[in-house]
Structure formats: structure tokens, C-alpha cells
Amino acid sequence: SVTVSENEVAGQVTAPSNSFEQVFSLAGKLALITGGGSGIGFDIARCMVQAGATVVITGRREQPLQDAVGLLGQQAHYQVNDVTERSLLDGLVADIERQYGPIDVLVNNAGINMKKPALEVTDEDFDRIVHTNLNSVFSLTRACAGPMIERGSGSIIMISSMAAYYGIDRVAAYAASKAGVEGMVKVLASEFSGKGVRVNAIAPGFIETAMSKTAMGGDPDRFARAMRRTPMGKFGKPEDIGWAAVFLASEAAAYVTGVSLPVDGGNSIGF
């Protein structure tokens, strides 16, 4: 049987319990963003700091690119970490929680790509990409999800790719890794759904970063082909992904779990 609230019976509307600012605010939240020292990860960090969060960004290099921490200010911390060192990830999470407090939001952003015709992809190439983009994502997610479940709250966001859905030439390993992430999102969202932890993905289209510039290889024909496949006819900006991540991390997305949100200028419309 379906229960209907008294207000609905009376035809009344209920006022929202929080203001717009409160609902989208990340004030008091701690977010861990892998690969946050450049590209999309940096803008996710920047948008989350603007929304009030404290962020810990990670990367392999000793110093993040573009002096990320300096640009982000006092609400940002940088931690050197290679996500492929999977045995270190439980320790990373424990260290961060000891230093800065509980991790409320995990953004699995670090990723690598490589464009080669499938017949030229070696087993080592394939393993390296899947290891970074999929296996490590699982290990870090497991490390963060345990404490989140104990506390009864958390938001986990995977940066996937439209390559998970469409046959984009020369990215066999990358597409396989991102499709794996998409499958994992649904399972984890289901397992954690009664425990206060939401799990979602963002599937970016063509976003202007070092990765996409390398992928285009400065080739105008390749760029034109990509834009023909993009209804909005332009690259997205890293902050387009950043604001989507703020939404998924915030209370505004309290009833959103197990989805993959395309942020792709319309690629997913299909035509």
C-alpha cells in the first residue's frame, strides 16, 4: 500500500528544509581527490574548495602542477601518492584521517590513457592502464568505504569516461577500464545503499586537459572529427566536471546513487 503525506492529501506543498546554499554547501566536509594536482582533478578540488570543503589532493610528482595547493589556499593539502601502489592505500587513508579528520568524499579521478591500434597494444600496456584506472580505484574505494560505512555517511565519485560506452578507436584498454568502473559503481551503490554511502560516476566527454591534448596529438582533423561527434561543438572545461562533482558530493544529490552522469556537450544524445 502507498502512504500519502497529509500535505499531499490537502494539496499543499512542503517548504524545503534547507536553503539553496546549505543544500549545495560542502562546508565542514573533507574530500580526497586523486590526481588533483592538474587537469580535471585540480578543478574538482577548486570547485569543492569554493563550495566550502577541505581537500586532500594526491599525485605521483613531488610538487603538484600549477602550484595547485598555493592556488587553492589553506583549505587544500597535497599528498604524494601513486594509486598503483595498492598495498599503501589503506595506510594513505588512515594517515589522512589521522591528520585531517574523516574523509566524507572520495573522488577517484587519477587516470591514464594511451592511444594505439588494438593490435599494437601489448599485455604490459593493457595491464598498466587497467591497473591504474580500475584495480587501484577498487582498492582505494574499499579503503575509504569501510570507515564511511561505520560512520553511516559518505559520497564516492568515480571519474569515468564516455569511452566506456562508445567505440572510440585506439583506446581498447582505457575503454575496458572505464567500463569496469561503470559496472563497479552499480554494485557498490547497491551494497552500500542502506549504509548511508552513495556511489556515482561522472562520464566526461572531450574536456580540455593535457590528456585530451595528447590524445588529439595536435591533429586538426582529429579535433574536427571529435567536434562533429559533439552536439555542442566544443570541448568542455575541467570546471564543468568540478561542479558536477560538487553536486554529487552534496546534499542536493542525497537521493542519487548508482548513476553515471554524462558531462559531455551532448555526446550521449547519439545521432
Active centre residues (catalytic): 174
Q: Does 206 bind ligand NDP (CB under 6 A)?
A: yes
Q: Does 45 bind ligand NDP (CB under 6 A)?
A: no
* Nearest distance, CB of residue 113 and ligand NDP, angstroms: 6
Helices (H), 80-166: 89-100, 123-130, 136-151
Instruction: Decide: 263 and 242 in contact? Cβ < 8 Å.
Output: no
Residue in 214, 213, 217 with CA at minimum distance from that of residue 235: 213
Contacts (Cβ under 8 Å, ≥6 apart) of 1: none
Q: Does 93 bind ligand NDP (CB under 6 A)?
A: no
Give the Cα separation of 258 and 105 in Å (integer).
15
CA angle, corner 245, sides to 99 and 36, nearest 5?
50
Task: Find the part of the chain contacting ligand NDP (CB under 6 A) among 15-23, 33-41, 120-128, 253-261.
Answer: 33-41
Q: Does 141 bind ligand NDP (CB under 6 A)?
A: no
Give the Cα separation of 188 and 113 in Å (integer).
24
Which one among 112, 114, 130, 179 touches ligand NDP, defined by CB under 6 A?
Answer: 112
Q: Does 161 bind ligand NDP (CB under 6 A)?
A: yes
Which one among 30, 31, 35, 184 touches ligand NDP, defined by CB under 6 A?
Answer: 35
Q: Which residues bind ligand NDP (CB under 6 A)?
A: 34-35, 37-41, 58-61, 81-84, 109-113, 132, 159, 161, 204, 206-207, 209-212
